[in-house]
Structure 1
Amino acid sequence: MLNLFDKRGVSSISIILIFLALLLIGASSYAVILFGDLLDQNVIYKGITVNDRDVSGLTKEELKQWLVESEKNVLEQKSITVSYNDKTREIRFTDVDIDVNIDEIVEAVWSIGRVGTKKERVFEILSVYLRPKKFYTNVTYDPLAVEKIITEIYDDIFVERIDNSYEITEGEILLKSGTDGKELKRVQLADQVYEALDRLESARFQAEVSVYPRKNVNAEEIFQKVYVQEEPATFKVEDNQVIIIPEKQGKTVDKKILEESVDQLGKKEKITIPLSIQTVIPDVRYDDVKEKIFRDVLDRRTTVYSEYDTNTKNRGHNIRLVAQYVNGKVLAPGEGFSFNDVVGERSPERGFKPANVYTSGRIETDYGGGICQISSLLYNSALYSGLEIVERLNHQFTVSYVDLGTDATVSWGSVDFKFRNNTNYPLKIECYLQDQAVEIVFRGTDEHPGRVVTVETKIEQVYPFSVIEEIVPTLQPGQTVIKQSGMTGYYVTAKRIFKEGDKVEVEQLRPSWYSKLDQIVQKGAERVSTESTEAA
């Protein structure tokens, strides 16, 4: 009889073919009789393998014992090792509730040739013998347990990215380094673990980690937030008052050290670097400015006048009145002085009185006569103070109170005298009234204490006056009256000389043309009516 349990096999395939032929032609009853003793055997039939091992001839208990010993017990000893952060995490197969379907395999193998009618059982036994049947155990595990372990590894690796930062306090900067962000490549590790579990193989993995570099701070940004430009004490002029503006302290930090510290911050984690904020004291302080304001007398000069008749008394009154208008005028650096703007209109409503003036080639009477003595005095003070002359005209005729070429005439609405404060400090004009005299002081800050200013004039041309005789019938024969005194005309050049040590600068001033005034000897009377302007 053919042995279907002997593991040594059969001698010839032809015998099986004969049995199959008998079955196919309806000789099934004979086959059952022939192989009937096989149906009650207590071992596994020929042609069955489990996990590529021939298990024929084994009892059901032997198969189960072998599977337990070769699969389940071995699996319990296997593990997956994950390395990260200088650590290792062992995932034992038992940690994920791994299980092998041993009972299922045993029942499936044992059922071959033992289920169905006798004819079906014989046919199945013969079929497996001719065409061996392979069985493989199947491993199951708890995915939630796997995910839980991977989550623990993820949490152990995870580092929240904290960017570098800084804090600015009253006196220092605190640079704080953060941490680079770290995150497990979770999906990749899960795939590796699942693959190892499915293969029932121990494995070692180096967990791959995504690193998110922290952002560093910007040194220039920090510097700009800290830096405060110091402001020296200064001043401003408002309503003829000098207001001193106190200095403002600055703040700074050593930029090179700041940049080096920021660079160091980017290389190390969890460090704090303190940097001192320096206070910058301005070079010019409040007391420095206060000490210089109106410290020096740039020029001091006096003009005198006489009061012996109505004309000269009115003239003296006008001179004193103008001095009061000018007194206390303060000019800021770069600010100009306009005589007409400061003094205003010369009218009786503003306190002016009529006195002699030069007008239209004659001497007439008009309000404000005599004030040119103050404008001329101001011109000379401006010259010797080294100030910039903006506008100046000489009188039509010569005057007696200043040298030729150094006078300055004015007329409301037309001729003005102007100069500019070209120093770096305020200029104050002070006028002091004395007995038939006015003293003018230019007070400011002498920026050239070693400089000497002089003014030189030169008469280039002389124009003698003529004597004109007028016959007046009312006069006695031979009787003469001088109606108008004669005045010589001149063309005068002038220059201002600045000398400071060996350095000499020469400035050509506006020349002066003085008209001659012919002398009139009356032998009769004649009125001359002309429009008057201030000229003297």
Structure 2
Amino acid sequence: MGKKVLVTAGIILLVILLIGLGDYLYFLNKVYPGVSIGQEAVGLLKAEEIKEALKSRGFEQQEVLFKYPKEVEKYSLETLGIIPDYQCLSDRALQIGREGNINENIVKRLEVLREGKDISLCFIVNEQKIDSILQELSGKIKIEAKDADFDIKGDEISIIPGENGIELDNEKSKECFYHALKELREVKAPIEFSIMCKEVEPELTTETLEETGINQMLVNFHTVFSQNDQNRNQNIKLASGFINLYMMAPGEVFSFNQVVGNATAERGFKEAPIIVGGQFVQGVGGGICQVSSTLYNAALLSNMEIIERTNHGRAVGYLPLGRDATIAYDYLDLKFKNSHSHHILISSRVEDNKLVIRIFGNPVSEQRVEIKTTDVVRIEPEIKTEVNNQLKSGEKKIVQSGSPGYRVTVWRIVYIGEEEVNRERLSRDYYKPSPVIYHVGPQVQAEAPVDNLPGNNESVEDYVEGEEEREYRGEEDREHQESINLEMLHDFVFLR
């Protein structure tokens, strides 16, 4: 009896071993039944067979929709540089039911056989392609932020609010996309993926401009120029553009030479008449001193501190005596300091034949500024005669009409209401007179008094411009005077 039991037990054990061995050999390198990859049944398949089965499903052609505001871009996984990792998938499938001990594996196999086990897809990702496509999309998605700005309409100023921009968030977009890939289990309708974007604030916000305190016009000052000299007009417009919408913080010093720069042909400045050694020649940059002079007056009337300013060597026709400001790059500059407790904004525009400069800020209640000129001394011009062999004997000709020189003192007076609160001497200026020059024939002695020259009934005074004559001279002479761009002060040439 005992022997029969042992034999029976031995037979059972042998059967179990044979079954186990048969099971092992049958499923060797094969996936257990019930396992699928992306809803594709792979039970009883070997690694190579799994690869072929998955390839037939066309996972590479899975369509992906990249969605962003108002647009959709379509790609395939293959185009995105994403392909199924067949080795990883087959390894994962073969591991199911083989990862624990014998009992655990049997239980797992029975569970898979009964309920099934689907493996999510895994991919090999070409990150450079993903980055390249996101970079391409970034250009389509990006909306530039708009800086807040001042809106100037005549003498009124307001703030145009800034607007946030939009740009692609590269890292978050990739993170969300990879998460979607991990969840992909089958070829199905296109994967919809929303590109992650972020808002970008403008560099200059509405709040920043509000904090400047700029809300009203402090001063409006203009000068007039002739529209006949196109080159000079171009120079005025160009220099005016450089200073337009220039904002100064409290305590900041404005330098005309630094802001406008050197007046060269390479920078767009044109040739126009200049005065060198008392003679008219062509030179680059004529007219920009009208810009510096107009700006000087605006700075004076807005009660800013003048750091550096030099008058022209001769009086100019577009401003009263003592109110001009010449510049010569790297030598003479116009500098003034924003002595207010708030920012100021310079607006410079050409309106028809006027150069209009407005200063905006936060006005002091009831403050007004006056500029007064005193101690005006007129200096009569020298009268010169020169022999000209091209003229006939006894003939004479005026070649330079001349103009008087001046000495003048300029003051700035500040009032609050009707009360004078400050009086400041701004400058004592000297304007060099321009001589009257006659050419006479060779037989007429140059020493002879001009009024005794034969055939001449005019007086010298007819050719010397006084205050009234300068105001009412003919149109041709006035246009000629307005075309003067540069002045000679001592031995230097200055922009006018």
What interval of TM-score do these two structures reach, taking the shorter chain for normalisation?
0.3 to 0.5
Q: TM-score, normalised by structure 1?
A: 0.43
Give the TM-score of the pair, scaled to structure 2: 0.47
Highest RCO, 1 vs 2 (Cα 8 Å, sep ≥ 6): 2
